[in-house]
Amino acid sequence: MKVRIEPDGVHCYDRVSGLHILIDEVKTNSDHYSLAPRTVSIGITDKCDFECSYCYVNLKNNFLEKDVIINYCKTLDNLGTFDIAFGGGEPTLHPDLIEICQQVWDETNLGISITTHGHHLSPDKINSLMGRISLLRFSIDGIEPIYSQLRHKPLKNLIKVLEYTNGKIPIGFNTVVNSLTIKGLDELLEFAIQYKIAELLLLPMINKGRTSLKDNEWNYLSGWINRNKDKVPLRISIFGKENLHVPFLFNSDYWDSDYAFIGADKTFRENSYEKQGIEIKYNLDTIIKNWKSKHLEKISY
């Protein structure tokens, strides 16, 4: 298990099972807090071959080089990060994705997840990722007809990938919640249970920096989560937390915000919705240390 020191206690993580253990009876000293964010998402490319209308990524053709990604991951691992989330754009369009995952898994203690639309995952690629990633997240906002309406591809093509992956690599679903998809959450839940997913991540849609759900939709989502929270492991973006009336595992500013994003443009940001970040010119260590100082100043715990 990998161990971090945090304001909430001593935090342990097993990247194979996904198990987290927080020993909150232990008082921790700020001098010993782990420096890097608990989770860091890395947009390894901002290229994507889908044209989802609600996508907030500025799609170009940027790729992070393999050696750059490996160096970022080793630095984050040394500074205390638990897990890396590879995304984009569409990460399966990166020519070195498989090799990157294999090398990061073998040479660090980081957990690895990949967020993908999944349509380029072949049996050979899935086999190559077995035992080298912690979670494969599929972007599925609803079953048919919602899926085709938003993704412009049939869900039946992805089902073949899900069936092959199931039992080989833990599966998660990422679901953008908007005025259309919220109506199909019950059907999506049944679909998710069928594949025994490790978690369902709900992402309230962001438009121009703000969530787009209306008050009645937030109320519906709160009720839906309360009714179904014991059926599959549910997670939700912190951008929806203040609008929901549901039980959360933690109500700590530190816990919620111990996250960062590195873009394919080689910038460090607090989250992927930020338009601008800190350019990583030389040493990521210095940026991380400055981030931690500012992070601790602005939170309450």
Evaluate whether 295 touches 286 at the Cβ level (below 8 Å): no
d(CA 83, CA 175): 20
Q: Among 75, 109, 77, 67, which residue's Cα sits nearest to residue 284?
A: 75
pLDDT recorded at residue 62: 84
d(CA 266, CA 61): 13
Phi, psi values for residue 41, rounded to 5°: -90, 140
Half-sphere exposure of residue 219: CA atoms within 13 angstroms, side-chain side: 3
pLDDT recorded at residue 49: 87
- Structural domains of the chain, with CATH: 36-298 (3.20.20.70)
In angstroms, the Cα distances linking 214 to 90, 107, 132, 182, 184 are 29, 46, 41, 11, 17
pLDDT recorded at residue 60: 74
Q: Among 5, 8, 6, which residue's Cα sits nearest to residue 251?
A: 8
List the helix and strand counts (H, then E) for the chain. Answer: 9, 15
d(CA 76, CA 156): 38
d(CA 71, CA 103): 11
pLDDT recorded at residue 295: 75
Long-range contacts of 53-59 (CB under 8 A, 24+ apart): 53/150, 54/150, 54/176, 54/178, 54/205, 54/207, 56/206, 56/272, 56/273, 57/88, 57/89, 57/272, 59/89
pLDDT recorded at residue 226: 94
Instruction: Indicate the average pLDDT of the chain.
Output: 90
Judged against a pLDDT cut of 90, whether residue 290 lies above it is answered with: no
Judged against a pLDDT cut of 70, whether residue 89 lies above it is answered with: yes
Q: What would the pLDDT profile of 228-260 be if each residue is shown by its tens digit?
A: 999 999 998 888 788 888 888 777 777 777 899
pTM (two decimals): 0.92
